[in-house]
């Protein structure tokens, strides 16, 4: 024990104690670092109590032993104080991190549902934009069910029926006809006897047009349909006219 001087710790931290020991010997940080064989930055971190800048504890203990030998104090005293302060610093950092997360969670809580609705609204808006772009470039469909191409139709009044893309404007030979919400349409048009052509178009609200052309034959009505009902058996034309 005669090799060591007794230095009472009259200060609270290890760093202040190390500074006092060094200054009592009138030694600079650079000189002590060179004597101990470490970088001056480590001596400064120890004296400042900056444990985040220090290496693993096993290396710090080795440095403290060398410092104790250089300053002429018991190494156990320095190591015990280092372990105490390092434990306190670690607990403090852990509690600080927990408090930071708790404060952050508390601050973000009011925005939780707002954020959810904002994300949902953004997805909905994006989907609507994609649908609009798709709708702009989509050509409507049109299909004619009556009359069929090449069909013979008796009489001058022809029923036209079919379906188109819901929401599109339907034109039959240039005339607008009503189409239901399901796209189904029907109309009656008058045609002269002979070969006829029927053009049905569907126009979307974005100006896209799809057309279908049907060729069919309109036959003149039979004479019986024109002259009236047939004569009864044995009935003459004159008697029929009288009646």
Domains and CATH numbers, the chain: 14-101 (1.10.260.40), 142-222 (2.60.40.1220)
pLDDT of residue 21: 92
pLDDT of residue 238: 45
CA gap 32, 28 in Å, rounded? 6
Q: How confident is the model over 215-223, as a mean pLDDT?
A: 76
Q: How many CB atoms lie within 10 A of CB 15?
A: 20
**More confident: 107 or 50:** 50
- 146-196 pLDDT, tens per residue? 888 888 887 767 888 888 888 888 888 888 887 787 888 888 777 778 888
Highest mean pLDDT pick, 7-16, 48-57, 116-125: 48-57
**Residue tagged 């320095």 (tokens):** 78
Q: Tell me the Cα Rg of the chain.
A: 51
**More confident: 169 or 37:** 37
Q: How confident is the model over 24-52, as a mean pLDDT?
A: 93
CA gap 49, 236 in Å, rounded? 134
Q: Is the pTM of this model over 0.85?
A: no
User: E-strand spans in 79-208?
Assistant: 142-146, 152-154, 157-164, 169-172, 175-177, 184-190, 194-203
Residue 92 has pLDDT above 80, yes or no: no
**Residue tagged 């029907």 (tokens):** 186
pLDDT of residue 48: 92
pLDDT of residue 40: 94
Distances (CA, A) of 103 to 8, 12, 92, 99, 108: 42, 31, 16, 6, 9
pLDDT of residue 37: 93
Q: How many CB atoms lie within 10 A of CB 164?
A: 27
Q: How confident is the model over 103-111, as a mean pLDDT?
A: 55
């Amino acid at each position: 024990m005669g090799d060591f001087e007794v230095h009472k710790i009259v200060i609270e931290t290890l760093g202040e104690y190390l500074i006092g020991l060094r200054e009592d010997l009138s030694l600079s940080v650079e000189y002590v670092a060179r004597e101990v064989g470490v970088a001056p930055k480590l001596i400064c971190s120890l004296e400042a109590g900056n444990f985040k800048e220090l290496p693993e504890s096993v290396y710090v203990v080795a440095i403290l032993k060398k410092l104790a030998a250089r300053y002429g104090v018991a190494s156990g005293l320095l190591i015990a104080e280092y372990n105490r302060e390092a434990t306190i610093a670690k607990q403090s950092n852990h509690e600080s991190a927990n408090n930071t997360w708790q404060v952050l969670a508390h601050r973000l809580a009011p925005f939780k549902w707002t954020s959810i609705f904002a994300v949902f609204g953004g997805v909905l808006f994006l989907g609507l934009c994609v649908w609009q772009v798709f709708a702009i470039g989509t050509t409507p469909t049109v299909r004619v069910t009556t009359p069929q191409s090449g069909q013979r139709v008796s009489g001058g009044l022809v029923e036209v029926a079919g379906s188109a893309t819901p929401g599109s404007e339907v034109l039959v030979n240039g005339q607008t006809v009503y189409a239901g919400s399901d796209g189904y349409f029907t109309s009656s048009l008058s045609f002269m006897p002979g070969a006829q052509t029927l053009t049905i178009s569907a126009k979307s609200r974005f100006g896209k047009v799809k057309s279908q052309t049907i060729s069919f034959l309109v036959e003149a009505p039979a004479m019986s349909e024109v002259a009236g009902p047939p004569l009864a058996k044995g009935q003459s034309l004159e008697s029929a006219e009288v009646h």
